[in-house]
Every structure is written in C-alpha cells, then in structure tokens.
Amino acid sequence: MSKPLGIYYPEYLQLDKILDAQSLESGKQGDPAHDEMLFIITHQTYELWFKQIVYELDAVIDVFDDPIIEDKKMGRVLHLLARIKTIQRVLVQQIDIIETITPHDFLEFRDLLIPASGFQSTMFKEIEIKLGIKRQHRISADCEFFKSRLKKEDLQSLDTLEAKETLHDLTDRWLTEMPFLRYKDFDFWKSYQNSVDQMLDKEQAIIEANVTLTDREKQFQVNDLTMTRAKFESIFDEEKYAQLRLEGQFRFSHQGFLGALFVNLYRDEPMIYTGFRFLTLLTEIDELLTNWRQRHAVMVQRMLGTKLGTGGSSGHDYLTATTQNNRAFPDLFNIATFLIPRNELPKLPDELARALGYFFRGEKDRLKELEL
C-alpha cells in the first residue's frame, strides 16, 4: 500500500482552477486570436497582485484602527508597506509584457471585449478607497463611471467600503495625536512661525541686495517670495486652512498637517524616524500608483490612439485625467513647500531631545554624569 503524498503542489495551489481560467472570446467566434491569451493572463495576474495589496492594506489598517497604536507594531507596518511598494513596482514593469501585443494584433479581439473594461476591477477600486481616494475626490467622469459601469452588488460593496475609515483617515488621526508639538514651555508652532519669518526676511534682504539683478528681476523674485509668504500664512491661520481644506487644497486636518510637518522637520531624531519612514512609504506608494496610471495611459494611447476605451470612456484622455487627480496623500507631497533648512529649525528643549533619543544613549550620558 502506497503512503499518502500529503499536500500535493497542484492541489495546494488549485492549479486546475487557475490554469483553466483562460477562455478566449475570439475562440468562441472562430479562430482564436493568439495574443488574447497573453492579454487575459496579464490582467488575471494584476488582479492577484491587487488582492495581495488589499490583504496587506487590511493588516496595516487593522493596526491603525486601534485607539492606541503600539510602537512595537510600527515595524510590522513599515514591512508590509514596503512589500506593497515592491509589488507595485512589479505592476508597473508588467506593462512591458502587455506592450508586446501590437495595436494591430489587439484589433483581432478588442471589439469582442466591449463593454468589459479594466475600470470594472473592483479589487483596484478597493485599493484606491482603502488608501483614501473616495468618490468626492474623483473627477466627475470617474464618478459617473462608478454609477454606470459596475454591477449593482459591486457598487453596493464599494459604497459600504467608502463608509469605513481609510488609511488616510487613520493616518490623519494618528498625526493629530503627535505629543511633541507642545512640551512644557516649548511651543513648536510659535517657534516654527518665528523661524519662517526670519528665513523669509533673510531671503528678501538677499534679493534686494543682489546687484546682479535688474529692478524687474528683483521685483519678479520679490513677488514670488510674497506668494511663498501667503502659502505659509495659509497654515498659520487655522480658519484660512479650514477654508482651503473645504476647497480641496488640503486633505489632512489642520492638527494632522502640523503633525506631519513636525515629523518631516525633525526626522533626524531617533524616536521620530519611524514616523518619517511611515509617511515616506505612504508617499512612495501613492507615487507608484500614479506611475502605474501614467504607464497605463500611455499604453492605452499606443494601443487605441484616440479611439474610445472598451468601457466607453475617452480612453487615453480619461486615464490621463485620473492620473492627475486620483491621489491618496497629496498633502504629503505638498508638505515640501513648508520645510525649512535644518539650521533654521527651532531648537528642541534638551529634555525633549533626550527623550527623543534612544534609551541606551540617554543611559550612557547618565552614567557619564555619575562618573563626574
């Protein structure tokens, strides 16, 4: 009697389902179009990677959904976000494979796909929503496709998801709880405003004293500096910030934006660096999502030219518009506007600086004091 094999590789991976899941529409109509097989497998692979990204995002959201986020869990969060970023790089590179299908070869089966479209990928929509791109953040054409191109049950599922807190929402909440903005007599916000005023006054003095500039060039640079002052004033004034947020120019709450700014300015402090890496990974994931959209838009133009997409959209023009507008963390990109040089940073109180260092560093300093 033969011994049982235990777990069998094809059965464990359910390869019979996966490898038999390619049904060529062109084959149902007559001779199969050779490149339709690659088209199907590439998109099926996308969906599998989308599923993995959703899986990782759910784990990250689960950590941040807790009212108290344990510091030791942040390492795991960074690891999972880095994994998502690596998967996204594969998704961008995968476009190279589908571009081996020539526009002429695509015509052999393209019309058979109508009205199916990549827009109907609910898994991709889940990624967008979980990151923080909800319907109110989309262009009008995108919102319209949501209503008209999805099955009722899929639309209801996404509506339910949109009612939940996103990673953007939870990140904003985490940033509002940044404990270092006020520490005893230290008020970061007031100190930062003073540093900004001094920096801008110094820049204006440099412009006015520059003998190599013509009066017109000086005025141009002074006007530019005036616009920069106005941008800073928009975050100094909480009411003005709230109005700009209503207009869509900011997404984070005022306190959340201040927390993000603090993390970026004091990232060299050991206890702050983990938060900086977290925000950096969110920015990189958002950037790679944009990169994928851009590559996809260019690929569609190459395949279709100015034809409509199979789902009824304007094809390349529609995809280009969503590339520019569908961003999850725009504030993390724009925060660079408000950074100031390290030598202009308000000095943290010694006690706070020690608290933000690693424990063994503080312990070593204490031992030195005892020796003295």
Q: Which domain holds residue 43?
A: 17-180+266-328
Q: What is the CB neighbour count within 10 angstroms for residue 344?
A: 14
pLDDT at 303 (0 to 100): 81
- List beta partners, residue 183: 186
Q: Across residues 115-130, what is the average pLDDT?
A: 87
Give the tens place of pLDDT for each residue, 44-92. 999 999 999 999 999 999 999 988 888 889 999 999 999 999 999 999 9
In a domain, 139, yes or no: yes
The answer to whether residue 294 is domain-embedded is yes
Question: Do 1 and 74 meet the contact criterion of CB atoms below 8 Å apart?
Answer: no
In a domain, 245, yes or no: no
Tokens of 342: 């390290």
Nearest Cα to Cα of residue 301 among 270, 323, 279? 323
Mean pLDDT of the chain: 87
For residue 186, the model assigns a pLDDT of: 85
105: in domain: yes
Instruction: Reply yes or no on whether the pLDDT at 130 is more than 90.
Output: yes
Residue 198: inside a domain = no
CA 134 to CA 215: how far, in whole Å? Answer: 48
**186 pairs with which residues across the strands?**
183
Q: What is the pLDDT of residues 230-258, one digit of tens each?
A: 999 999 999 999 999 999 899 999 999 99
For 123-146, what is the mean pLDDT? 82
Structure tokens at 82: 């880095």
Within a domain: residue 125?
A: yes
- Length in residues, the chain: 372
Q: How far apart are CA 235 and CA 231, in angstroms?
A: 7
Write the CATH number for 164: 1.20.58.480
DSSP state of 72: G
Contacts of 284 (CB under 8 A, 6+ apart): 85
pLDDT of residue 313: 47
Question: Number of folded domains in the chain?
Answer: 1
pLDDT of 31-47, one tens digit each? Answer: 899 999 999 999 999 99
Rank 14-18, 137-141, 177-181 by mean pLDDT and report only the highest. Answer: 14-18
3-state helix vs strand vs coil in the chain, percent to 5 = 70, 0, 25
Share of the chain above pLDDT 90, in %: 59
List Cβ<8 Å contacts ≥24 apart for 253-257. Answer: 253/172, 253/176, 255/175, 255/176, 256/171, 256/172, 256/173, 256/175, 256/176, 257/175, 257/331, 257/335
pLDDT score at 16: 95
Q: Which two tokens stand for residue 127?
A: 């990624």
Q: Assess if residue 194 is contained within a domain.
A: no
Judge whether 97 lies within some domain.
Answer: yes
pLDDT at 368 over 60: no
Top pLDDT among 353 and 330 is at 330
- Please give the pLDDT value at position 9: 93
